[in-house]
Amino acid sequence: MSDLSARPVEGSVTTPKGFRAAGVACGIKASGLDLALIVSEATASAAGVFTINRAQAAPVTVSRRNLSATSGRARAIVVNSGCANACTGAEGMRHAEAMAARTASSLGCSVPEVLVASTGVIGVNLDMEKVTRGIAAAAAALAPCGGKDAARAIMTTDPFPKTAAVEVTSGSGTFRVGGIAKGSGMIEPNMATMLAFATTDAAVEPTLLQRALKAVVNDTFNAITVDGECSTNDCVFALANGASGVKLGDQDYSVLVDALRYVCEPLAVGIVRGGEGATKLVTVRVTGAASDAEARQAARAIANSPLVKTAIHGGDPNWGRLVAVAGRSGSNFVLDSAAVRIGPIELFSAGTPHDERAPEAAEYLKGTDLVVAVDMGTGGSGTSQMWTCDLSAEYVRINAEYRT
C-alpha cells in the first residue's frame, strides 16, 4: 500500500473534476434508461481492459481499435444497454463505428476519441435510429451530476446501480477517482456482461494508466465471479483528464493503483452482491499455497463450485466440500496440514474435523456477508482473495425461464 489518505465520498464518474455524464431512455429496452454518455471536458488519457472471450462483440473490437489509434486518449464513453451488439457480423461493426461517429460529431471531437460499449441480448442488431436519437439526447443532457443517471442507464436487470467515488490526498496533492459498473442480473439478455468505467481528475500518462488499470482489474473485477461465465462484451475503461492539477508519474504508480482500487473494489463487490439470484456475498480467502497463482486457481475453483455455493445458500457449514474443491483445483494441496475456516470458526485442521463447532458455523452462515478461508497446507506463502455469491434456485429460474 502507498502512503495516501482516501476519503470515500458519495459519487460516481462525475465526482472527479472536468467530467460530465448523462443517462437517457431511447427505447432499446422496453422501459428505463438505456443509453449513457460519459464525457471529459478535455481530452483524457484512456486505458481499457477487455474480455478474453474469443467471441468478441463489435463494440469491444471498435473500442480496442480506437484506443490503439489514439495511443490511449479519449474524450467520451458511449454505452447502451438492452442489446449487446454481439454475433452481429459486419453490420454490427458498422453500428458500433456509427455509435462512435455520432457521439464524436455531437461533442466535436475525433471519432477514435470515443470508446463504445454495449450490453444486452446477443445476436440482435442495434436499432440505430433509436441509438442516434439517444446520443443526441444524452449529449444535450450532459451534466456535472449526471454520473448517477449514467450508472442507471448501463443496467440491464441489475437489482441496483453501482457507483463509487473517493477523494485521495497523496504527496502530489488532492485528486478524485470515481466509477460506475454494471453486473449480472439480467433476465432478458443471453449473457451476463460486466462493464465498469472509472474516471479521475489526476493527470496520468496513458501507459501508466493502462498498467495501473490492468493491475487493479486483476485484483477486483477479475477476482469476482457469479457463475464462472465470461461475456462477449466485458470491458473496463479508465479516463484521466488532469483537471485537478495533480500529476501522477511513474514514481506515483502505487498511489494510482491504490486510488483506482478504492473505487474498483466496491464496484466489483457490488456486482457480486447484485449477482443473479444472489442472497449472500462470500469472500473466499486462500492462504498457504505454493504461489499466488496457485492460490488464485484454488480460490477460483472454490468461488465457482456449485457444491460450495449451494451449501452456503443453504447455510450448511460443509467444510468437506471446501476440502474436496481445494483438492481438485489443480493447485498443490496437503491434506494433513490444510485447514478450513468458515468465518472465524476453524472446522478442519491438521487432518482433523472439528464438527462440534458446526452449530456455531451454521449460525454464522445465517449472515449475508461471509468469509470462507482455506489454508492449502503446502507451507508456501501464496495467497489470493476472490468474491462470489451463493447459488440459489432463483439463479436457475432467472436463467431457465427468461424467454418462456
Rounded Cα gap, residues 333 and 327, in angstroms: 6
CA distance 156 to 279: 19
Helix or strand run (H / E) with residue 212: helix 206-219
Find the catalytic residue in 70, 193, 199, 378.
193
Q: Which residues of 170-202 are buried (b: 16+ CB within 10 A; e: fewer)?
A: bebeebbbbbbbbbbbbeebbbbbbbbbbbbbb
Please answer whether residues 162 and 11 qualify as being in contact, where contact means their C-beta atoms are separated by less than 8 angstroms.
Answer: no
For the question of residue 193 being annotated catalytic, the response is: yes
- Would you say 271 and 229 are in contact if contact means Cβ atoms under 8 Å apart? no
Which chain residues interact with a second copy by CB under 8 A? 51-56, 86-87, 89-90, 121-123, 190-192, 227-232, 304-307, 310-311, 313-316, 318-321, 323-328, 332-336, 338, 348, 351-353, 355, 391-393, 395-397, 399-404
Which is nearer to a second copy, 198 or 325 (by Cβ)? 325
Q: Is 121 or 259 the residue whose CB approaches a second copy more closely?
A: 121
Is 142:157 a contact under the CB 8 Å cutoff?
no
Q: Which is nearer to a second copy, 54 or 251 (CB)?
A: 54
Please give the Cα distance from 302 to 388 (Å, whole number). 9
Min separation Cβ 79 and a second copy, Å: 19
Nearer to a second copy, 86 or 116 (CB): 86
Nearest to a second copy of 208, 295 (CB atom): 295
Among residues 180, 191, 342, 189, which one has the least CA distance to residue 270?
180
Q: For residue 240, which of 176, 324, 309, 334 has the smallest C-alpha distance?
A: 176
* Active-site residue list: 193
